[in-house]
Amino acid sequence: MHTDVVLEALHVFAVFWFISGLAGRAVAQAQARRATDLRDLDAAMRISSVFEVRMVRPGSLLLLLAGLLTAHLKGWPILGPLQGRPPYWIFALFVLFLTGMMLVPTVFIPRGRHYRSALDAARGEGTITPQLAAAMADRTVALAHAWEWIAVALITILMVAKPF
């Protein structure tokens, strides 16, 4: 079996792993947002964290590495338009993927600190505080998660259609 085929299979596996993690995290977070008891909210967010740490993070890195290596082995230029060589859709999905990764330092880490601070304070009081409820309803985080799904959909379309 050729190395490029093995890497492509690994890339597809990473896609399933990553998207399953995104879905599991989303379901757990939705359950946490509906919680009326701090213990239920905390439990759902702990489950969300398991999906994040065990599936989303490693899946995204494996996805990126396997995708880049597969493209390289197939002779596809990753920076297509900057290199003046088609296909260009690989560059487009690479940029889309990077926009999702940029959400980590710009949105998820800073907003996560605020959430953890509000959660610690709520644990001290033993109830869902207004600060924790506000952190759970953070519109910026919700929009960032929505962008992750939009980017996944666009990347999927580009990979299937290979339009340019």
- Give the tens place of pLDDT for each residue, 103-159: 999 999 999 999 999 999 999 999 999 999 999 999 999 999 999 999 999 999 998
pTM over 0.85: yes
Q: Please, which pLDDT band fits residue 55 given cuts at 50, 70 and 90?
A: very high
For residue 106, the 8-state DSSP code is: I
**What percent of the chain is modeled with pLDDT above 90?**
87
Answer whether 11's CB lies under 8 Å from 63's CB: yes
More confident residue, 98 or 2: 98
Per-residue burial over 113-122, b if 16 or more Cβ lie within 10 Å, else e, is eebeebbeeb
Distances 102 to 76, 89, 94, 106 between C-alpha atoms, Å: 24, 20, 12, 6
Instruction: Taking residues 8-23, report their average pLDDT.
Output: 95
Quick one: which H or E segment has residue 18?
Answer: helix 3-34
Domain range summary for the chain, segments of one domain joined by +:
3-161
Mean pLDDT of 44-70: 96
Residues 75-86 have a mean pLDDT of 91
Average pLDDT over residues 26-32: 98
Q: What is the pLDDT of residue 137?
A: 96
